[in-house]
């Protein structure tokens, strides 16, 4: 069994409550007793919500879906860190064994102008979809493809592209950044496609369009503090930002319509 299996915690939770996008929010304090260390952080929230409903109070709204760390929907800012204190995991994969009895835990939504709060801990990340729609693809219609093994791709290139493509689009990078920059997210997609032969044809126009859309959405600039990489639950590397900057420079200088 895991360390401290069967142990229970008593906790104080300070949770951000906000009725809707326009309302002013504030922290609400809750006491929780007997939280098993085997629970996930979101299961702890389920327990809290059940308690609230029984007391006749409205449950706390938060985004979550797959609860196995891959859909990218969960998004809590826990004790000043996106996805909480443990490196390399999403909030849904954070377990209560990472906390101690008597802890006070502060939970906020993602904080970024480009991600307006919908309610309580849920935010609107549709800006990411619009960035993808601006150029995060290879223009190939269904049915046009040649045999998959016709173009050889060195394993290293495929692995690097996969490393960038592992991004789950959760937005932790933006929430972690003091500038609210989306550079890590955008550069992951730009890198994935720049590394593969299939992405070459649109390589220049893609980076120009995606960066322009990123700016339009109100994300801040990158000042190389690296908080995004440190907080990314999927270990997306800062190298991608460096690569995107090179791609952008090169495309800006040479791309002609």
**Contacts of other proteins in 166-195 (CB under 8 A):** 166, 168-169, 192-193
| Binder of other proteins out of 70, 81, 179, 237 (CB under 8 A) | 70
**Contact by Cβ (8 Å): 222, 183:** yes
Shortest Å distance, C-beta 221 to other proteins: 24
- Nearer residue to other proteins within complex by CB, 69 or 180: 69
Which parts of 74-93 interact with other proteins (CB under 8 A)?
88-89, 93
Span of 76-84, 160-168, 177-185, 242-250 interacting with other proteins by CB under 8 A: 160-168
Considering only residues 47 through 66, tell me which ones interact with other proteins, judged by CB under 8 A.
Answer: 47, 49-50, 53-54, 56-59, 61-66
Among residues 84, 109, 136, 220, the one that binds other proteins under rule CB under 8 A: 136
CB closer to other proteins, 7 vs 14? 7
- Minimum Å gap between C-beta 126 and other proteins is 7
Residue numbers 211-250 binding other proteins by CB under 8 A: none
**CA contacts within 13 A on the Cβ side of 224:** 3
Find the shortest distance in angstroms from Cβ 223 to other proteins: 27
182: nearest Cα among 134, 139, 145, 142: 134
Contacting other proteins (CB under 8 A), which of 91, 112, 134, 187?
134
Measured from the CB atom, the residue of 1 and 253 that comes closer to other proteins is 1
Nearer to other proteins, 203 or 225 (CB): 203
Least Å distance, CB 238 to other proteins, is 20
Backbone angles phi, psi at 100, to 5 degrees: -115, 155
- HEC profile for the chain? CCCCCCCEEEEEEEEEECCCCCCCCEEEEEEEEEEECCCEHHHHHHHHHHHHHHCCCCCCCCCCCCCCCCCCCCCCEECCEECCCCCCCCHHHCEHHHCCCCCEEEEECCCCCCCCEEECCEECCHHHHHHHHHHCCCCCCCCCCCCCCCCCCCHHHHHHHHHHHCCCCCCHHHHHCCCCECHHHHHHHHHHHHHCHHHCCCHHHHHHHHHHHHHHCCCECCCCCCHHHHHCCCCCCCHHHHHHHHHHHHHHHHCCC
Count of chain residues binding other proteins (CB under 8 A): 84
Window of 43-51, 103-111, 217-225, 243-251 that interacts with other proteins by CB under 8 A = 43-51
Rule CB under 8 A: choose which of 76, 174, 196, 211 binds other proteins: 196
């Amino acid at each position: 069994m895991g360390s401290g299996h069967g142990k229970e915690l008593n906790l104080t939770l300070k949770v951000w409550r906000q009725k809707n996008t326009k309302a002013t929010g504030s922290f609400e304090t809750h006491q929780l007793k007997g939280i098993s260390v085997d629970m996930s952080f979101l299961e702890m929230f389920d327990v809290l919500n059940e308690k609230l409903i029984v007391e006749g109070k409205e449950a706390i709204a938060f985004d979550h879906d797959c609860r196995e760390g891959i859909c990218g929907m969960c998004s809590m800012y826990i004790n000043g860190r996106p996805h909480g204190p443990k490196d390399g995991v999403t909030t849904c994969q954070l377990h209560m064994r990472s906390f101690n009895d008597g802890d006070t835990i502060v939970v906020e939504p993602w904080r970024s102008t480009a991600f307006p709060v919908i309610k309580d801990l849920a935010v609107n990340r549709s800006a990411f979809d619009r960035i993808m729609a601006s150029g995060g693809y290879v223009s190939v219609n269904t049915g046009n493809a040649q045999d998959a093994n016709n173009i050889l791709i060195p394993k290293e290139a495929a692995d690097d592209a996969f490393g960038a493509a592992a991004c789950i689009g959760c937005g932790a990078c933006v929430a972690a950044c003091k500038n609210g920059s989306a550079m890590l997210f955008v550069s992951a997609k730009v890198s994935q496609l720049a590394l593969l032969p299939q992405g070459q044809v649109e390589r220049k126009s893609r980076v120009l369009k995606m960066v322009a859309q990123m700016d339009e959405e109100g994300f801040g600039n990158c000042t190389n503090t690296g908080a995004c990489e440190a907080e990314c639950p999927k270990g997306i590397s800062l190298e991608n930002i460096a690569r995107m900057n090179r791609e952008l420079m090169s495309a800006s200088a040479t791309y002609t319509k």
